[in-house]
Amino acid sequence: MAGISELEKKALKLIEESSDGILQSDLWKMMNLDSREGSRLVLRLVKKGLVKREQVIVNGRRTYRLTIAKTTSEPVSVKIDISTILDIPCATCPFINDCGPRNFHDPRLCPLLDRWLRAKIRARSHEREISRTTSI
Ligand code: SF4
């Protein structure tokens, strides 16, 4: 890992190995660090976005539980159904680059978009009506 010291790597490995996270004081003990060094180390890891620090109460004392922060580089899977907007007039509109609020071509005043939206609303109402009458 670039930009990470050996000490930080060691701390990350220890945090990663603990399934539920690790108390920061336990981490310091495992690494033979005093509280000042340990705090600085943890704050550096938090600042780099590598570690998440959550305040917890253990034996009546306030401390922090450390866990590995999820990286933003992890792939995120999101399913989006665009089938209902495939026929939107904007998709093939020659004015799309000039269209915007208060422009000559304005989506709030566009008859093509208005007609398309009204047709969608009618179709949706029709579907609801059909499903309502067939479920009776
Ligand atoms: S709102 Fe109307 S003018 Fe604007 S991009 Fe869509 S279809 Fe074209």
**Domains detected in the chain:** 6-68 (1.10.10.10), 83-134 (no CATH)
Give CA–CA dist 75/43, Å, rounded: 26
Give CA–CA dist 84/117, Å, rounded: 11
Q: Is 68 in the pocket of ligand 1 (CB under 6 A)?
A: no
The pick from 105, 108, 109, 115 for probing ligand 1's pocket by mutation, whose C-beta has the most ligand atoms within 8 angstroms, reads 105
How far does residue 50's CA lie from ligand 1's centre (Å)?
44
The pick from 85, 98, 112, 118 for probing ligand 1's pocket by mutation, whose C-beta has the most ligand atoms within 8 angstroms, reads 112
Residue 81 has a pLDDT of: 83
What separation in angstroms does the CA of 23 have from each of 28, 90, 123, 130?
9, 54, 57, 58
Inter-residue contact 31 to 14 (CB < 8 Å): yes
Q: Which pTM does this prediction carry?
A: 0.48
Span 59-86, pLDDT tens digits: 898 999 999 987 656 666 778 888 888 8
* Cβ contacts of 53 within 8 Å, gap of 6 or more: 24, 42, 46, 64, 65, 66
What tokens appear for 69 in the block? 């922060």
Residue with CA at minimum distance from ligand 1 atom 1:
107
Span 19-46, pLDDT tens digits: 889 999 999 999 999 999 999 999 999 9
